[in-house]
Amino acid sequence: MDLINAAKKISEAGTKLDKLAKQIAEQCVESITKNDLLACLKRIALYCHQINITSKVKADVQNISGEMVSSGLDSATSLIQAAKNLMNAVVSTVKYSFVASTRYPTKNAGKAQSSIVVWRMRAPDKKPLVRREKPEESKAKVRRGSQKKTVAPIRALSEFQSPADSL
């Protein structure tokens, strides 16, 4: 049931974003970015609808005759895939909304109406230029691959035959 509830919440959040982005698109002048934003909004509506239907079907299958019946993996997988698709559409919608609302003049530029969304850029996290070694790696034990045996020199030489011994 957690998966179903999470899917419904994701779908509701997608619907809210859809409404907000439509308001941004209405204020934007006609441009390629506006057309791309409207195309992303159609994808969001599609994926939200798909998540709603899939979650209702999964909920119906699980509550058969008052018993909790675990349904197949297909419906859970399709819910997860639809949520991934929705998140990808959300990312592109936010990008196009940013471009549409900041790069192009709005239709209400002469009026005193403020923008629907205030965009605040956050500084990226600092990353070190040189990677430091992990403490476990710097204090690792060095082990020999094979043990060397000390052999007396006379014994080592006795392995070889001289040409006079072979006759």
Out of 17-26, 101-110, 147-156, the most confident range is 17-26
> What is the pLDDT, as a whole number, of residue 140?
57
For residue 112, name the pLDDT band (cuts at 50, 70, 90). Answer: very low
DSSP category for residue 160: S
Q: Quick one: tokens of 122?
A: 């956050």
Helix, strand, coil percent content, the chain, rounded in steps of 5: 60, 0, 40
Q: What is the DSSP string of 48-104?
A: HHHHHHHHHHHHHHHTGGGS-----HHHHHHHHHHHHHHHHHHHHHHHHHHHHHHTS
In whole angstroms, give the CA distance from residue 161 to residue 167: 11
Q: What is the pLDDT of residues 39-95, one digit of tens each?
A: 999 999 999 888 888 887 766 555 555 565 555 556 778 888 888 888 899 889 888
**Amino acid, single-letter form, for residue 100:** A
In whole angstroms, give the CA distance from residue 115 to residue 92: 20
Contact 62, 70 (CB under 8 A): yes
Q: What is the pLDDT of residues 117-148, one digit of tens each?
A: 777 778 878 887 777 766 666 665 666 656 66
Q: What is the mean pLDDT of residues 19-41?
A: 86
